[in-house]
Copies of this chain bind each other. A is one copy, B any other.
Amino acid sequence: MRIVFALGDSALFPHGETLAGDHQARGIRDAAAALAPVCAAGHQVVITHGNGPQVGLLALQAAATPDIPYPLDVPDAESAGMIGYLIERQLMNVLPGGALVAALLTQVRVDRHDPAFRKPGKPIGAIYAESEARALAAERGWRVAANADGWQRVVASPAPLEILEARVIEMLIEKNVIVICTGGGGIPVIELEDGSLTGIEAVIDKDGASALLARQLRADWLVMLTDVDALYLDWGTEMARAVRHVTTRALATREFAPGSMGPKVRAACGFVNKTGKRAGIGALRDASAIIEGAAGTIISVDPVQPDDPGWQHGRPTTHLQPRR
């Protein structure tokens, strides 16, 4: 089978740890161990990943050299280089000798007229006092906005339209190379009027870009891995119950947390509705079990049994209890 695994920040990056290199290496080692059985089983595997904490650190560090401005596509590429390399190395350590792995930089085309550019809403980088934020906005042409933590730069999160390296990625997985790509949602580029590509100050939703990639690759599965074992209804209440199987039609009647399960559900439904294939949401450690239908939440167009209403729930068991 051809599978796109999207690793969330919380799958790669243990909570409460600093970003120190050895902490990151440990989180990534665990991720590689969880994915190894799927890779070794002969599936065609593509791995995407988040870059939130890492790109935030780069933005903080870049503030130390304000006279050398890098546009936002650059730290996106830098963080993809770092995380891609670390995942690749750890995978090579857990896969049988001779297994081939490649980490590719990935450009994602977005529309320069995307309405998101008129209403940038994605906070990035350091947290400022209001006066400082406004001064930076005036000086650097940033948009800034207040959130629960303070004032932050906000950038657009436009819809991904095309993964420019999809053909190369497909060539590699057809030769059984495990491919790591589309880090942090990929590097956003726009097409100018003369047809040339240029980088743009934006961040692309990682789950949305992963769903687009899965579609371009005609993947059988899009599996989004995080630190929670399934999609939950009534999350955070005593009624909380894990969803085992659900149709996209049933999901469309519910809302999920914007910064967390919301983008995953949207990406999953988009992929499933457009392709008729399946999507999974679950815990990193369950990567193998999810594609066997034995763990996580499986999202499909049709109900598992003809007479089910589109939902199948599990009960919160020890195994199903979210880790946070």
Contacts and interface: CB of A to CB of B under 8 A. Distances in A.
Contacts of A78: 58, 78-79, 81-82
B93 A197 contact: yes
A294 B111 CA distance: 44
B104 A102 contact: yes
A89 B198 CA distance: 7
A74 interface: yes
Interface in A129-186: 164-165, 167-168, 171-172, 175, 177
B21 A69 contact: yes
Given A68-B57, A104-B104, A197 B89 contact: yes
A127 interface: no
Contacts of A82: 74, 77-78, 81
A199 B29 CA distance: 13
Contacts of A168: 100-102, 172, 177
B199 A89 contact: yes
A19 B68 contact: yes
Contacts of A19: 68
B81 A84 contact: yes
A92 interface: yes
A304 interface: no
A301 to B, nearest CB: 33
B189 A89 contact: yes
Interface in A86-134: 86, 88-89, 92-93, 100-105, 107
Interface stretch (A59-67, A205-213, A246-254, A276-284): A59-67
A30 interface: no
A208 to B, nearest CB: 20
A85 interface: yes
Contact of A107 (B21, B89, B104, B171): B89
12 contacts: A20-B69, A21-B69, A58-B78, A79-B81, A80-B81, A81-B81, A81-B105, A89-B197, A93-B196, A102-B105, A102-B165, A171-B177
Given A58-B61, A85-B105, A171-B175, 5 more contacts: A77-B84, A78-B78, A102-B165, A102-B168, A171-B172
The 5 closest A-B pairs by CB, nearest first: A81-B81, A64-B64, A77-B85, A61-B61, A78-B78
Interface of A: 18-22, 57-58, 60-65, 67-71, 73-74, 77-82, 84-86, 88-89, 92-93, 100-105, 107, 164-165, 167-168, 171-172, 175, 177, 187, 189, 196-199
